[in-house]
Every structure is written in C-alpha cells, then in structure tokens.
Amino acid sequence: MGILRKEKMRIVNSSTAGDRHFEVFNPYSNEVIGTCPKASLEDIASAFRTAKNYKASLSRAERSQILRKTAEILVSRKQEIAELITAESGLCLKDSTYEVGRAYDVFHLASTIVIKDDGEIFSCDITPHGKKRRIYTQRDPLLNAISAITPFNHPLNQVAHKVAPSIATNNRMVLKPSEKTPLTALILADILYEAGLPREMFQVVTGDPREIADALLTDPNVDLITFTGGVSVGKYISTHMGYRRAVLELGGNDPLIVMEDADLEEAATLAVAGSYKNSGQRCTAVKRMIVVEKVADKFVELLLEKTKKIKYGDPMDPETDMGTVIDEASARYCEDKVNDAVAHGAKLLYGNIRKGALYSPTVVDHVPFDCDLVRVETFGPVSPVIRVKDIDDAIRVSNSTAYGLSSGICTNRLDYITRFVKELEVGTVNIREVPGYRIEMSPFGGIKDSGLGYKEGVIEAMKCFTNVKTYSLPW
Ligand code: NAD
C-alpha cells in the first residue's frame, strides 16, 4: 500500500488540532504508511468530558440497526480493510481477511443480542417472612465514560470486542489503539459514524503512551478501563487506576497437549494452525507443545512436514500463509529466545531465520520446560516441543508458568479429558481444538497473570459495561 494516510483523531473537540505526529510503518517494507496525531493531555480530558456529558438514549432497535449496518459495511469493504490491516501489522492477507470476518461476527451477534432484555424477576413471597412484592433488575449504562486500550495483534477485532458491547449498552467510549496499528481503528470509527453512531459514543485518540497513558487510567470521567495487552502494562494499570472497574485481558502461554492415544495427524494440524496463524501473535496461540514421550518422535515428524509447507513472506501476496511479526525488535526477541533454548539443550529442527521483521516458522524439540522460550510468552511463530512422561507430568508442566489463558488437548480418553478440565489452571480447555477456538459471544478470558476481572465475549462484556439496578413493586 503506497498511500500515505495523514490521519486526524476521531474526537469531537480537539484543542491541539494535531500539531505533533508519529509515524506508522509497514513492518514488511519499512515504509511509512501513515501519520497520526500525538494527543495532548487536554485532548484526552476533552474527549472524556464530551463522553461523560453526552446522554446516550438510543433505543434497542436503533442500537441493533447501527451494529447490523456496521457489520454490513465491514463486509462490503472487506478487501480494502484487510489490506489496511496487512499494511500496518504485517499480518498476511489470509489472516487479515479472516479478521474482518470475525469483526463482522462481533457486530452481527451484538446486533441480535441487544434486542433481548436481560432483566430478571424475583418473587418475594417465597419464605415465611416474605412479602407480596416482586424485585426486578435492569442494567443501566455506566454514569461516566469507558476508557479502552487495545494491542497491535488484531487491529480490528480487538477494537470490535470493546466498542460493540459499549454501543449495545448505550455507553460512551474513548479508545486508544496501539500506536503500532492505529489506522484500522480510525477507519472503524468512520464506519460506525456512517452506520449512524453519534460521535460522542465512540471517540478515538492516538499518541504516545508515555505521555497519555496515565490520563487514560485516571481521568475523573472514567468509570471503567477495558484493556487488552501484555502482562506488564496490565499490572501497571492495576496499580495506578484507583477506584474504578477494570477488565484486564493479558498475555498467554497456551499449551497444546498431545497424549499417547491422540490422532497425531490431527494434533500436528492443530499445532501448525495454532502456532503460525496471525504470525503466532495471538494471546491464545499455541506457545508450548507438551507431548507424551511415547508419541513425540512421530508427532515431531508430522509437525516438521506441515511446518515446511507454510509459505511465509510478502504479506500482501494472497498466496502467503504467514507474514511478518509486528517489528524487527519482536522478530529479534523470538530469535534470541530460540538461541537461548538451544544453549539450554533444545534442538533446533527448522527455521530461526530472520530478515527484518520477517521471522520464519520455527520448530524446536527437547525444549526444557523452564527455559525462557516457554516460561514467558514468546509472541511469534515458534513451535517449541516439550517432552513429558505421562498425564501427571503434562498437567504439572502446563501449570508451571504464571499464565492461565487457554489450552488445547489432543486425546479421546474421557478419564484424561475430565482430569484436564478439572486440573488445568486456565480459562478455557478445548478438546481436539486449538486453544484459540471460541465464538465471539462465548465468555473468554484467563486467570493468573492472563487476566483479571470480567471476561470478554459480547455477552460478558455487556454485563460488565453496566450497573445492575433493582427496583421492587407491590404484587
Ligand atoms: P502492550 O501491553 O505493549 O500494549 C497494549 C496497549 O497498551 C497499547 O495500546 C499501548 O500503547 C498501551 N500502553 C502502553 N503503556 C501503557 C500504560 N502504561 N498504561 C496504559 N496503556 C499502555 O501489548 P502489545 O504488545 O500491543 O500486545 C501484545 C500483548 O497483548 C501480548 O502479551 C498478548 O498476549 C496480549 N493480548 C491479550 C489478549 C487477551 O484477550 N488476553 C488478546 C490479544 C493480545
């Protein structure tokens, strides 16, 4: 994409008119593809003031229509939006096209969920000292604004998961997208306005987190922070945000566990999909393959065979299966962690080749379970195989990190399945699927260092973006 986008923020009143800018790069070509304003602290305060003062009163029908129209526009502009995601993130067109489809699902599902009232009714004459009354519940939007902060790895869908439930609940949101991939979020804002959303209900600020992050967390007009990103920033937020609600969706270190009875062909297919899709940059990517020794040789053989078929390179080529990671520093990080694992006794079987931000699919076997490559999150296309003795060993290794997001299990044995569901310290256990499998409305989120607070998924997010009010009547 050769076009240089000179963007403005999507805020109702801007004091600085964007007199300072930062550049957005294409990770594959290193070209500057756009510039965005660096928000001032007054811009941030103004956006939250506008959001707080706006009284949203869209009917359920109006909200549903805006969400449905947004979904339709996304699909009608699929190619163009996919190309923009690819240009700013380096994700290949196959991945970015898939992402537009997922965002369609988010808005489409939200448009159907919003028409259903989720109030509850409690009869009060149910105990000897009860009364002839009924208690009703209703969910109200928050009194003040929502502050949303998103990562680079899904420039569209991460934003969709914040803004769709916000619209569905008549809230007002100010978003700061990743400074690495802000362009897609700005286009999404335009699409929402085109679909009829009042601008006060969704504003987008851009800028340097070192200058504006604290204001996004502590502005007096913020009632809730919804953050998706890494563990260190998530923990920073939890200690700086003060008295307000927060949803923290953080990093993952998800295992694919392969037991001795597994269909190894299926297991290797899941391993490859989980490891390399989105260039391995998903919170729920397969980051560790925990394989029972008895079948490990055969599994690794199949894993290698399938990895070698992954075509990586120019992200804009529609035939490419995997593009770059987000930047050269990120690719170097993967390379360093693989080298460190090899220094600790792992065997490099394929890959570990880097050119700028392009890092090859990489297979490493005999990885010690406690080396950095698999102890902390490696956000890139690496397949590290950890060999274990049996199910006890598999569960111990799986639970040995600080993370607890999701997991994928390859087995058909019910006794194993029940143990994994019960004993893995994670938010999700997917049997014979990748850890990342979900639908956009099912609850999603991790425990331990992987997340704090409510889960995401349209339904859960709508609950947490509201205050429950009860009222009672004589009956
Ligand atoms: P990051 O934590 O570096 O940045 C995320 C966002 O936080 C960016 O918008 C950034 O500008 C902002 N930020 C930076 N400093 C901040 C501060 N002090 N206060 C508030 N905000 C600040 O994450 P990233 O590198 O963009 O994304 C990758 C990470 O996101 C990975 O760890 C991945 O696992 C995680 N992630 C988690 C989920 C989930 O749902 N659990 C989903 C996707 C990605």
Q: Is 423 a catalytic site residue? A: no
Residues with CB under 6 A from ligand 1: 149-153, 176, 178-179, 209, 213, 228-230, 233, 236-237, 249-252, 283, 377, 379, 405, 446, 450-451
Find the catalytic residue in 92, 99, 200, 283: 283
Q: Is-same-fold flag (5-250+451-474; 254-431)?
A: no
Q: From the annotation, which residues make up the binding site?
A: 150-152, 176-179, 230, 377
Q: What is the pLDDT of residue 404?
A: 98
Q: Per residue in 432-475, pLDDT tens? A: 999 999 999 999 999 999 999 888 999 999 999 999 999 999 99
ipTM for the complex shown: 0.96
Closest atom of ligand 1 to CA, residue 154: 43
How far CA 253 is from CA of 60, 287, 408, 446, in Å, comes to 39, 5, 12, 11
Does the pLDDT at position 401 exceed 60? yes
Nearest CA residue ID for atom 42, ligand 1:
283
Which of the listed CATH numbers 3.40.605.10, 3.40.50.1010, 3.20.20.70, 3.40.640.10 matches domain 5-250+451-474? 3.40.605.10
Percent of the chain predicted with pLDDT > 90: 97
Residue 14 predicted with pLDDT over 80: no
C-alpha 407 to ligand 1 mean position (Å): 21
Q: What's the mean pLDDT in 366-386?
A: 97
Contacts of 392 (CB under 8 A, 6+ apart): none
Q: Which two tokens stand for residue 121?
A: 């009714």
pLDDT single digits (tens) 46-84: 999 999 999 999 999 999 999 999 999 999 999 999 999
The domain 254-431 is placed in CATH, from the list 3.40.309.10, 3.40.50.620, 3.90.76.10, 3.40.50.720, at: 3.40.309.10
The CA 248 to ligand 1 mean position distance, Å, reads 10
Each residue of 374-383: pLDDT tens digit? 999 999 999 9
Which of 38, 88, 149, 236 to mutate to test ligand 1, by most ligand atoms within 8 A of the CB atom?
149
Q: How many CA atoms lie less than 13 Å away from 273 in the CB half-sphere?
A: 13
Q: Using the predicted structure, report yes or no on whether residue 1 has a pLDDT greater than 60.
A: no
Q: Checking DSSP bridges between strand 408-410 and strand 430-431, what pairing results, if any?
A: parallel
Instruction: Taking residues 271-287, report their average pLDDT.
Output: 98
354-355 vs 347-350, strand pairing mode: unpaired
From the alpha carbon of 152, which atom of ligand 1 is closest?
A: 26
State if pTM tops 0.90. Answer: yes
User: Is 334 annotated in the active site?
Assistant: no
For the chain, the structural domain boundaries read 5-250+451-474, 254-431
- Tell me, in angstroms, the distance from the centre of ligand 1 to residue 93's CA: 23
